[in-house]
Amino acid sequence: MNFLKKKKILLVVTGGIASYKSLDLIRRLQEKEVDIECILTKNVEKFVNILSFESLLGKKTHSNLFSLDEENNMSHIKLANNCDAILIAPCTANFLSKMANGSADDLATNVLLASNKLKIIAPAMNSLMWTNKIVKNNLTCLKKLDVHVLSPQTGKLACGTKGSGKLMEISEIVDELDFIFSPKILNGLKAVVTAGPSLEKIDPVRFISNFSTGLQGYEIANSLAAFGAKTILISGPTNIEAAKNVEVVEVLSGKEFLQHSIGNLPCDIFISVAAISDWRIKKTQRNKIKKNNINNIEFALNDDVLKNVSSHRRKPKLVIGFSAETNNLLKNTKKKLIEKGCDWILANEVTDDNAFLSDKNKIYFFDKKKVYEWPKMKKRIVALKLTKKIVSFFKKK
């Protein structure tokens, strides 16, 4: 999702050792189609050549408080009003102090005082500065004024020490901005999503599983969270990292999927995306099974998570399932919709270039009245399209 597209962001770069990283930030924001204006404080040029900023931006930067533009508008008033947000990155301890105390001794601080727009800071400083009580007090003051703080990370600092104070990774800053601008239409709703494969243990070295990567479930969880839902993701083993605002519960077996799915009721939205094995081993062996004893393995059916949630006395307002098939996709999915008692079901045919081993999905969307064919698209777009349908559902409610 790109909630930053066409947004106008005024970037204030302050003079610190991390100033050069703002060039990468500009580049990443341009990739997101953000309209950027840039103010450089007077010490920035001690770290980075101003020409580097202007070459990248394709326009002039701003630094002089008393300059007049071609229309005789005072630049600080125009800059203050003609943006969706003001981002200070990096934000030094000195500039943080100026903001907290209402200083107005240069263009950047005048713009901040003259603006009622969203304000975001990404601090970067020495670890002793970051933990200093004065800095902490300034941060507390700014948070009370609804300034978003993108907290620095722990790592090796320019001064050679290791500790907190390192500028948040540029990719993470962009992700945080994307979330800040995301529509919070699902605020107040709780969503539970299952994702990934189950792993059914046979003995200490073997298990039953499948080729699910978990990508579709993670994209759906991230999308719901971006739209404001409190999102819990119950995940089998994957190599994917969920968004920071998604609560992840790691599980292995179908039994654990069921336990945590029921345990997280009541909720408003339940989406069963996980590829949970239909079968489990009746009795897991303590020791490795030898080849000649393979016939001793007995299988048992796993409890159906989607069906259990749909029939539960605390059934969510909206229950959605996924149906992965290799043949008779529409017929089998319609049957599942009825048998499992869910409200909607998304059918996807498992092929070499679709579903499990792909970053794309070809979906047939079933509700209780009709089937809708969706074009093949990235799983991220499938997640966004489904989220928008969920938004419409709750608007009608």
**pLDDT tens, residue by residue, 167-192:** 999 988 998 898 889 888 999 999 99
Characterize the bridge pairing of strands 8-13 and 85-91: parallel
Confidence of residue 244 (pLDDT cuts 50, 70, 90): confident
On whether the CB atoms of residues 201 and 253 are closer than 8 A, the answer is yes
Mean pLDDT of 260-279: 95
Confidence of residue 155 (pLDDT cuts 50, 70, 90): confident
In angstroms, the first-to-last Cα distance of the chain is 26
Mean pLDDT of 345-366: 82
Confidence of residue 149 (pLDDT cuts 50, 70, 90): very high
Compute the distance between CA of residue 271 and CA of residue 191 in angstroms, rounded to an integer.
Answer: 8
Mean pLDDT of 4-24: 95
What pLDDT score does 256 carry? 96
Characterize the bridge pairing of strands 360-361 and 377-378: antiparallel
The pTM of this model reads 0.70
Confidence of residue 243 (pLDDT cuts 50, 70, 90): confident
Two structure tokens written together for 251: 């599980």
What pLDDT score does 72 carry? 47
CB-side exposure of 298: number of CA atoms within 13 Å?
3
Helices (H), ranges, the chain: 21-31, 50-57, 75-81, 93-101, 107-113, 127-130, 133-144, 170-181, 215-226, 254-263, 305-310, 329-340, 379-396
Mean pLDDT of 61-69: 72
Tell me the backbone φ, ψ of residue 164, rounded to 5 degrees.
-80, 150
Q: How many CB atoms lie within 10 A of CB 380?
A: 20
Two structure tokens written together for 233: 């993701």
Tell me which fold the domain 190-396 belongs to.
Rossmann fold (3.40.50)
Among 4-8, 68-72, 103-107, the range scoring the smallest mean pLDDT is 68-72
pLDDT in tens, 289-304: 777 776 677 888 999 9
pLDDT at 70 over 50: no
Compute the mean pLDDT over every residue in the chain, rounded to the nearest whole number.
90
93-101 helix and 133-144 helix, angle to the nearest 10 degrees = 50
The residues that are catalytic are 159
Task: Judge whether 8-181 and 190-396 match in fold.
Answer: yes
Q: Where are the domains of the chain?
A: 8-181, 190-396
What pLDDT score does 268 carry? 98
Mean pLDDT of 126-154: 92
What pLDDT score does 211 carry? 78
pLDDT at 69 over 60: no
pLDDT in tens, 72-120: 455 668 888 899 999 999 999 999 999 999 999 999 999 999 999 999 9
What pLDDT score does 158 carry? 67
What pLDDT score does 357 carry? 67
pLDDT in tens, 194-231: 999 999 988 887 888 887 899 999 999 999 999 999 99
Tell me the backbone φ, ψ of residue 31, rounded to 5 degrees.
-60, -30
Radius of gyration of the chain (CA): 26
Mean pLDDT of 11-32: 95
Quick one: what percent of the chain has pLDDT higher than 70? 94
What pLDDT score does 73 carry? 54
pLDDT at 166 over 80: yes
pLDDT at 351 over 90: no
Query: What CATH class has 8-181?
Result: alpha beta
Two structure tokens written together for 395: 């608007």
Confidence of residue 371 (pLDDT cuts 50, 70, 90): very high
Quick one: what percent of the chain has pLDDT higher than 90? 68
